[in-house]
Structure 1
Amino acid sequence: MPEYTTGKPWRLSAFPPLLWAVALLLTLSLAYAAQSGATYILIDDNLDTELAPPYALLQEGKALDYRSTTRVDRLMNGLPRNALRPGLQPLVGLMALFPPLEAYLLHELLVRLAGLLGMYLLLRRYGLPGPRLAALCAGLALAWAVLPAYTAYGVSVLGQPWVALALLNLRRGPGRWSDWLVLVVFAFWSSLVLAGMFVLAAAGLLLLRDTWRHRRIAWRPVLGLLVLGISYGVVEYPLVYSLLVKRQFVPHRLEFDYARLAPGGVGVGLASAGRYLLLGQYHAGLFLRAAPLLAAGLALAYAPAGAARRRLLRKLLAGVGVLVGVALFCGFYPQLIGVVQQTVPPLRAFNLSRFHFLTPLLWFGVLAFSLRHLPGPGLRAALVGLQLLLGLGMNTEWTLNVRRLLGRLPATEPTYAAYVAPELFRRIRQDVEARTGQQPARYRVACLGFAPAVASLNGFYTLDAYQNNYPLAYKHQFRELIAGELARSPELRTYFDAWGNRCYLFSAELGKNFRVAALPERAVAHWAFDARSFRRLGGRYVLSAARLLHPEASNLRLLGEYAAPGAYWHIWLYEVR
């Protein structure tokens, strides 16, 4: 800590590097500061899907209700509660205390702080130990913390250094109580299906390799994995119970058809593998892997010729070889599973390509290992700085907030306040109540041209939603509403039938445009909508971001159109005739 004693001059160098890294991360986070919700947060696969379900759970008081009979009325006409995320996860707890946006931003900051501290401790003890490397470790930890990973999934990516640190500590000695606690916390703050299964699998393989090499079992890290697995069993109890004990509903994922979704030959697979290798995947951290590759090349260039260089080459080839193997597996996964799923249909429900969630940590391992073999602090600092710039520059959420502060936010990227548009949807609710006397719980809506999550966050009960798990029977029921539009568009038909996570109202004229802005105004000339099936599901109103030129042909009638200052949408309200 810095000295403030009388007579001793204050010096910048008195602050530990870790404190500087934390201060810089907090400073960078100021880009998110804005009044009245005018902050930009990621929309695709994030705002359009991850905030609405916990909000609905909390509004209905069902976040911790895991009974098999519990239904969440606000989503998909009564979505089984156990199809949604666990109520024990921190984001859900924060949303119980704060509005959705504030909860999301606080959660993101906590995830990144946890990632920074975990990476710093891992590097200081195992990656880059030594009294003179603290600043380098802090810089690399900061570069890790700003990676463009989806923080709505908790510490699934950025918290992995904590797991590595805990298991390495347990392998080296008896460990501390904190090592066991870390494994429990990781299970509660991450996603089992996105990262947990693959962390367990990868760590188990490494322990098997360790046992083979040393001809003995390292029991403490094995018990650590057991603790991690049991913790996941507690926090993900509904999912584990439905998989291993009693299926509570048949998931729509059983109709996934990867061969239809991503057809292609060897060239397509290699191109996809190349993207996984050099860029990664956007959920788990999309950044150019230039710094680790450059560091590895320079380490080999500076290594003295002979046995030392050969040893270094073998180790680097082993690390990069694993990454190449993961990239090839992920790149060709749609084609591989397209063949296997015919023999083992249940494999349709699982996405085993998510081993890519482990690759950011592996690349940072390559970078840290290479830095150990480079001479002089200047070159090392330059490579860490390069990684920091690449990670931060490719962090779309951060860069767009910087552009917002500069008054240059693209019109296609609305802020949270513009996207959710609470004033606009409040007026719609009020008009429906004034006309019918009914609160939103008494009727159901569906959305055209925008994500149903917007309606859900504004208190509406929706028949449609973006969900990665829901009953297959409901998918078939909902398909009747949009069958006419699917028949008009082979692309949308494949999109829904072979995947279906976006259980949306579709229009062949709009295609996959799920963000139809108020300007320029869009109109749909012909909409083959099955109003009778909509009514059977309990639907009464269609909220459309595009004007229907002939609503009567769809058995709808226009009740009103709505706009609001600052809102991204212009909404037309239609009622089933």
Structure 2
Amino acid sequence: MTFFNNNFKAYLFLSFCALLYFFPFFITGKNTIFPIVDNLDCYYVWNKIAAQPQYAWANPSAIIAEYMNGLPRFTLINSYSLFFFLNIFFSAFYAATIHIILIHTIACFAMYAFAVKYLTRGNIIAAIVAAIVFGFREYIYAYGLSLALLPLLAMVFINFINNKQSTKDWLFLLIYPFLSNFQSVGIFILGLWFVLSVYFIIAKKLPVAKFFLALMSMGLLYYANNYPTLNNLLFDSYFISHRKAFAVNSIAQRMGNILTTEEPHNLDFYLTFIFDRKIFVLCGFILYKMYKSKHESFKLFLFITVAMIFFQCQFIILDSAALKYLQEKVLLFRMYHFNKLFVFELFFQAMAYAIIVAYLLSVFKTKWAGIAVILLMLPFVVRLSLFWKPIIGLQWQTKARPYQGYYSPDLFEQIKQRIALPVNKYKVASFGIQPAVASYNGLYTVDGYINNYPLTYRNQFREVIQEDLALINKQFKFSEFDTRGHFCYLQTVDLIKNGNMQIPIDKLNPISVPQEVHWNFAALRSLGCNYIISSIEIKTNQVELIDRLENHFYKLYLYKI
């Protein structure tokens, strides 16, 4: 296709695709939908709280009193990330919006640069396809630019292999630890850098020093930016983490439970990154053709295909006897969620698309083939965008909520007025509605979603919900709280059925039947809890209904204990 005859025009087209992808923001504003899990329900709130003037530059061990009865600052945000600084300079909504735009745009442009140089033999259209597939997929935004920058990191490593590393490459390696998430992605980056370095040093007899200097530099910078959490998990600094009570193979148990339930939204969430298996038929066919013609990309494409098959086997790997053995013998293996490794599948999928499209366009050498591919990309961008789904009538309610509706500041202002006390003079718990909403609106909470907190508090909170946990375990043969414990939520069997605590109970996902609860209210009071904010009517004589409040998104009950 003659129009796409240089990189400038390709970047121009990708810029248009980015505008198309984010166009719903201009229509819906603060009613734009955002992902719930690991975004609305925690990440945005952690950074909003930590960016407040009294906490922004505080010591990592400074106690943030508002969240879960008071937690050290480093448990909410472990480092000074890009998103943290966006929350310093912008309001929470605009910080989240800018962060999302940066992640997708950088991922798109970075993948194009990598694909056109190393994967498509200069085929610009194939590189555009790879850029769109990689840049406009749904991300876990809490990972920051970890995944978005992978193509550039790969280019840097290739420069090291070819002895062409420059000052820019070294600068990128020094900046990357501050733009990426160590626990979710960085730890694997260091491991892969080490393994690949050893391989190429042996295979190509490359100098050792530069590879391991780069590895040590990144490792030290990751440690400098994450030392409170690392010291806590490795040496019990500050407190003993609840992660030390993780069940062996807790992730596999959780995924196995979800895959066998009838709730399709849970299945959808855990299969977000699963590649359409039909593509493997095409991969196999193209591999065969490449092998027969001795195509120069055969070995690379074979490696990518094998890697994708490995990612498809994630549940088998997570449930393997070998991993269970390691978790039983080594506490560190039990504390870590190895399922995070599989987010790298996105990168391999995009590389596969680059090579497939480049190969097909080399076979079908008509300009109409290129035109067809480009025209197909525009509706594909819209289809990939979560933000377009309400506009074009696709299902979104099981994974996202409108930003303004989810946090409902108007409704929580009414709650504050109804309680009529300074917010630091009482504490609340939430039921049905996720605790992040109360935290976002400045209330002091005893509950919440957090990845690292004191084991003693986990045990205290368990006393509150232990009877309902027994009922949940009896029905589902599994309890999230007892295997991992990240969700310190008031819960019942029906709450688990309606979204496994990851989907809020609201007007999009209501529970209309009053809930009989079995909570230990004495234990709840001992945590300092005075009020319960519920989106479900509660049946118990242990609480007094103070008020019913309603807006377009929630119907809430305010109870006093």
Q: Against the structure 1 CA distance between its residues 333 and 388, is the aligned structure 2 distance closer, same or farther, given a 3 Å change threshold?
A: farther
Matched, 1:149 2:142: no
CA distance in 1, matches of 2:496, 2:337: 26
Pairwise CA distance, 1:41: 0.6
Q: 1:293 to 1:368 in 2, by over 3 A?
A: farther
Whether contact under 8 Å (1:257, 1:348) holds in the other structure is yes
Partner of 1:7: none
Whether the 8 Å contact between 2:86 and 2:95 is mirrored in structure 1 is yes
Deviation per CA, 1:76-115, whole angstroms, max 9, x where unpaired? 1011222222341111111122222221111110111111
Q: Percent identity?
A: 24
> Residue 24 and residue 518 in structure 1: after superposition, are their counterparts in 2 closer, same or farther (change >3 A)?
closer
2:549 corresponds in structure 1 to 562
Identify the residue that residue 225 of structure 2 maps to in structure 1.
235
Question: Which letter maps to 2:115?
Answer: L
Instruction: State the AA in 2 paired with 1:229.
Output: G
**CA distance 1:243–1:547, shift in 2 (3 Å):** closer
Residue pairs, 1:71-470, within 5 angstroms: 71-130=63-122, 133-217=123-207, 219-243=209-233, 247-259=237-249, 262-263=252-253, 285-288=273-276, 294=282, 297-298=285-286, 300-301=288-289, 303=290, 305=292, 308=294, 314-328=299-313, 330-336=315-321, 337-374=323-360, 375=362, 376=364, 393-395=383-385, 397-403=386-392, 414-433=401-420, 438-470=421-453
Contact 1:449 1:544 in 2 (8 A): yes
- 1:184: how far off? 2.7
CA distance in 2, matches of 1:486, 1:454: 23
Deviation at 1:356, TM superposition (A): 0.9
User: Hey, what's the Cα distance between the residues in 2 that align with 1:34 and 1:170?
Assistant: 45
TM-score, structure 1 as length reference: 0.84
1:532 maps to 522
2: CA distance between counterparts of 1:314 and 1:407? 39
- Cα distance in 1 between the residues matched to 2:394 and 2:253: 42
- Bigger drift between 19-28 and 420-429 goes to 19-28
Over 3 Å counting, the alpha-carbon distance change for 1:381 and 1:323 in structure 2 is farther
SS at match of 1:528: coil
Flag the 1:222–1:392 CA change in 2: closer, same or farther, 3 A.
farther
**Cα distance between partner residues in 2 of 1:323 and 1:467:** 31
Shifted more, 528-537 versus 459-468: the winner is 528-537
1:8-54 Cα offsets, whole Å, 9 max, x none, are xxx99896211221122122211223456111111123211211111
The correspondence of residues 454-533 of structure 1 with structure 2, limited to 5 A, is 454-490=437-473, 491=476, 494-513=479-498, 514=501, 515-518=504-507, 522-533=512-523
Q: Which residue of 1 aligns with 2:537?
A: 547
Note the alpha carbon deviations across 1:457-497, whole angstroms, 9 max, x for none.
Answer: 11111111111111111000011111222233324972211
Alignment-derived partner of residue 65 in structure 1: 58
Deviation of the 1:233 alpha carbon = 1.7
Question: CA contact under 8 A between 1:241 and 1:247: conserved in structure 2?
Answer: yes
Contact kept in structure 2, 1:255 and 1:499, CA below 8 Å: yes
* CA distance in structure 1 between the partners assigned to 2:359 and 2:491 by the alignment: 56
Out of 27, 44, 61, the residue aligned to residue 37 of structure 2 is 44
3-state SS in 2 of match to 1:155: coil
* Partner secondary structure for residue 41 of structure 1: strand
Higher mean C-alpha deviation, range 318-327 or range 440-449: 318-327
Q: Tell me the secondary structure at the aligned position of residue 538 of structure 1.
A: coil
Deviations 1:177-219 (A, max 9, x none): 2212222332112111111111221222122111221233354
Cα gap change, 1:57/1:260 in structure 2, threshold over 3 Å: closer, same or farther? closer
Structure 1 unaligned blocks of 5 or more:
1-10, 273-278
Instruction: Determine helix, strand or coil for the equivalent of 2:530.
Output: strand
Kept in 1, the 8 Å contact 2:5–2:124? The answer is no
Shift of 1:173: 3.0
Q: Hey, what's the Cα distance between the residues in 1 that align with 2:372 and 2:249? A: 44
Q: Secondary structure at the match of 1:517?
A: coil
In structure 2, do the counterparts of structure 1 residues 414 and 246 end up closer, same or farther at CA, with 3 Å as the change threshold? closer
For the structure 1 residues 544 and 305, does the alpha-carbon distance in structure 2 shift closer, same or farther, using more than 3 Å as the test?
closer
* Cα deviation code 1:533-564 (max 9, x no counterpart): 112111111111111233x2xx2111111112
Instruction: Give the superposed CA RMSD.
Output: 3.4
Once the two structures are TM-superposed, the CA of residue 432 in structure 1 deviates from its matched residue by 0.8
Q: In 2, distance between residues paired with 1:283 and 1:154?
A: 21
Residue 190 to residue 36, structure 1, CA distance change in 2 (3 Å): same
Contact 2:423 2:442 (8 Å CA) reproduced: yes
- Residue 51 of structure 2 is aligned to residue 55 of structure 1: no
The CA distance in 2 between the partners of 1:280 and 1:174, in whole Å, is 43
Shift of 1:389: 6.2
Amino acid at match of 1:507: T
| Structure 1 residue 335 displacement after superposition | 4.2
* Residue pair 1:91, 1:103 contacting (<8 A) in 2 also: yes
Per-residue CA deviation, residues 243-289 of structure 1 (Å, 9 max, x unaligned), is: 45662221111222254664599xx79x99xxxxxx99859845536
- Distance across 2 between alignment mates of 1:12 and 1:321: 32
CA spacing shift, 1:413–1:571, aligned 2, 3 Å = same
CA contact (8 A) 1:326 1:356 kept: yes
Whether the 8 Å contact between 1:521 and 1:546 is mirrored in structure 2 is: yes
Q: TM-score normalised to the size of structure 2? A: 0.86
Of structures 1 and 2, the one scoring higher in RCO (CA 8 A, sep 6+) is 2
How far 1:372 moved relative to its partner? 4.8
Q: Is the 8 A contact 1:465 1:502 kept in 2?
A: yes
Residues paired across the two proteins, number: 539
Query: 2:250–2:484: 8 Å Cα contact kept in structure 1?
Result: no
Say if 1:77 and 1:537, in contact at 8 Å, map to a contact too: yes
Task: Identify if the C-alpha distance between structure 1 residues 393 and 23 changes in structure 2 by more than 3 Å, giving closer, same or farther.
Answer: closer
SS at match of 1:460: coil
- Name the CA distance, whole Å, in 1 between partners of 2:201 and 2:371: 37
Inter-partner Cα distance in structure 2 for 1:381 and 1:353: 39
Q: Deviations over 1:201-241 (max 9, x none)?
A: 12221221112212333543443333322221222232233
Distance in 1 (CA, whole Å) between partners of 2:547 and 2:350 is: 54
Moved more, 368-377 or 53-62: 368-377
Q: How far apart are the structure 1 equivalents of 2:507 and 2:269?
A: 31
* Contact 1:443/1:539 (<8 A) preserved: yes
- Name structure 2 gaps, 5 residues minimum: 261-266
